[in-house]
Chain A
Amino acid sequence: MDIPYTVEERSDTGLFNAKLGIWLFLASEVMLFGGLFSAYIFLRFGAPDGAFHEWGQELNIPLATLNTLILISSSVTMVMSWASLKLQDIKKYKLYMGLTLLCALVFLVIKYLEYTAKFDHHIFPSTNTFFAIYFTLTGLHGLHIIGGMIVLFYLWIPGRKMWLSNSEQFTNRVEIVGLYWHFVDLVWIFLFPVLYLL
């Protein structure tokens, strides 16, 4: 039996099912990160005056700025991969999806360099409350990047064969993972100033 509403829209929601599903999932993700942002505010107010700003000076702003630009670029290549499918250009899709994965990989490598530099300076989550929430937030964000990369890779190579059998459903799949990917970018857009600049 076929799964209903993978392409056609339901008359009651006006959406194909996966679109509604991913937005509900993203709403739950807002609350997940919201809980941790709430914890950040709590810890910041609870720390001695100016301590969070001072502890944050240990972080590498140029590297984080570069990572922000890389993640924004990956959002553009992601949306371009979807647009390429809409234009029936599978070659460009492959190129843009590959670039998205490359950006994600570079982001993780930079994050690895940042983490190892901290560990080399004996800075760990247990060092103080700032680094406890820093490692928690950036670690959870990094896990989201890794999870996204697994799905992106699937749609880049093994899952691409669906383009031949059901191009509309495949395009919808790419749109759905794109929404997730943009959300991960959006979270970083707030993490960057909150952790590195304030």
Chain B
Amino acid sequence: MSTNHDTKDIQQHIKVYMIVFATLAALTVATVAASYLDLSRGEAIFLALAIASIKGSLVASYFMHLISEKALITWILMLTAVFFFILMLFPMTSFIDQAQLG
């Protein structure tokens, strides 16, 4: 059975979930609004991905409880992030090839 301490803890969590929900909804509207701004392609991509990253961090930190998770999981995810960024760099190699070929 849950103790009073646990109950208070969970009720505090629920308040945080509601704040995160409102923030995510507001940021979704902000993402759409930002797409109508008169920005260069590079600026638009940066802004959209920045907002998406904030939203993703909120989901991972609070809904997935990463903010209070064990170190082992953090290490697994950091290793994953390294491989993910290597994967994102792969397409760049073809452009280096193209540049070298003139």
Task: List residues of chain A with CB under 8 Å of any chain B CB.
Answer: 13-15, 19-20, 23-24, 27, 30-31, 34-35, 37-39, 41-42, 45-46, 50, 53, 61, 65, 68-69, 72-73, 75-76, 78-80, 83, 86-88, 178-179, 182-183, 185-186, 189-190, 192-194, 197-198
Contacts and interface: CB of A to CB of B under 8 A. Distances in A.
Given A27-B79, A76-B63, A193-B35, 11 more contacts: A20-B73, A34-B87, A34-B88, A37-B87, A50-B41, A53-B41, A69-B28, A72-B25, A88-B2, A186-B59, A190-B56
Dominant secondary structure of chain A at its interface with chain B: helix
B67 interface: no
A19 B65 CA distance: 12
Given A23-B73, A31-B80, A193-B48, A87 B88 contact: no
B59 A185 contact: yes
B84 A34 contact: yes
Interface of B: 1-2, 6-7, 10-11, 13-14, 17-18, 20-21, 24-25, 28-29, 31-32, 35, 41, 44-45, 48-49, 51-52, 55-56, 59-60, 63-64, 70-73, 76-77, 79-80, 83-84, 87-88, 90-91, 94-95
A15 B31 contact: no
Nearest to B90: A38
A187 to B, nearest CB: 9
B17 A79 contact: yes
Contacts of A76: 17-18, 20-21, 63
Contacts of A185: 59, 63
Contacts of A65: 28-29, 32
A198 B14 contact: no
A71 to B, nearest CB: 10
A150 B32 CA distance: 31
Nearest to B53: A190
B31 A80 contact: no
Contacts of A190: 49, 52, 56
A193 B51 contact: yes
A45 B97 CA distance: 13
Given A24-B76, A83-B13, A186-B60, A197 B88 contact: no
A23 B77 contact: yes
A23 B35 CA distance: 33
Contact of B7 (A13, A87, A179): A87
Contacts of A50: 41
